[in-house]
Amino acid sequence: MRIPEQTIPQRIRSFIRRQGRLTPGQQLALDNHWNTFCLDPKVNYDVAEIFGREAPLFIEIGFGNGDSLAKMASANPDKDYIGIEVHTPGVGHLLMLLNEQSISNVRIYCHDAIEILEQKIADNSLTGVHLFFPDPWHKKKHHKRRIVRPSFVELLDKKLKSGGYFHAATDWENYAHAMLKVLSESLSLSNTSATNDYCPRPEYRPLTKFEQRGLRLGHGVWDLIFSKK
């Protein structure tokens, strides 16, 4: 009698890969600048060798079209940034910006952020992790797909330096409340909010066009910033 192989339950992903349509400019950037800025998820890198220096390291998960990441990196040339995004049009757009603006302190993974954090980022190495306007998975049956959950908070604890921080921003109030609850239950992270809930938008987080439009329409935005003890 053959014993069936034991199956390993598949991790619930917080994203769905959508190919999207590439503009000619994005395709050109992918063709010409991928090898300069993009990292291979199968390779183990030394971060200091990647950037050619030792500097505070920040990760942005799901950078979208890369506008905010490019602005932060340009405004902070003394810091290094790794952006992670699964959608190639966004990667192509960021590559265009990095090349046009001669920004050298950014590298990119086009891959699952959780796998990169687990397998390619050293423990106690990150000064900050940014998660700006993640997919809220607003239907209740999809809440299990939200990236901020207890297992993710445990991963943050491993990867952040002491004094490092996690900064999330969302325009979905329900998701803001859910993130606040999960993060507040951590024994290793402390809320930097003076009121123990949400923070004013710090200057280092650029306003996106989408966010500016939402604010004009009266939509709220909630920033959560927790630091590692």
In this structure, which amino acid lies at residue 123? D
Q: Is 223 a catalytic residue?
A: no
Alpha helices in 14-165 (DSSP H): 24-37, 47-51, 67-75, 88-100, 113-120, 150-159
Which residues have C-beta within 8 Å of that of residue 120, sequence separation ≥ 6?
39, 41, 44, 45, 109
* Of 35, 1, 12, residue with least CA distance to 141: 12
* Of 156, 154, 163, residue with least CA distance to 229: 163
**Main-chain dihedrals φ then ψ at residue 175, nearest 5 degrees:** -70, -35
Instruction: Point out the catalytic residue in the list 31, 46, 135, 223.
Output: 135
* Of 165, 152, 192, residue with least CA distance to 56: 165
- The SS3 call for residue 89 is helix
Token pair in block for residue 161: 């330096």
DSSP state of 38: B
* 105 and 131 Cβ atoms separated by less than 8 Å: no
* 59 and 126 Cβ atoms separated by less than 8 Å: yes
Residues designated as active site: 135
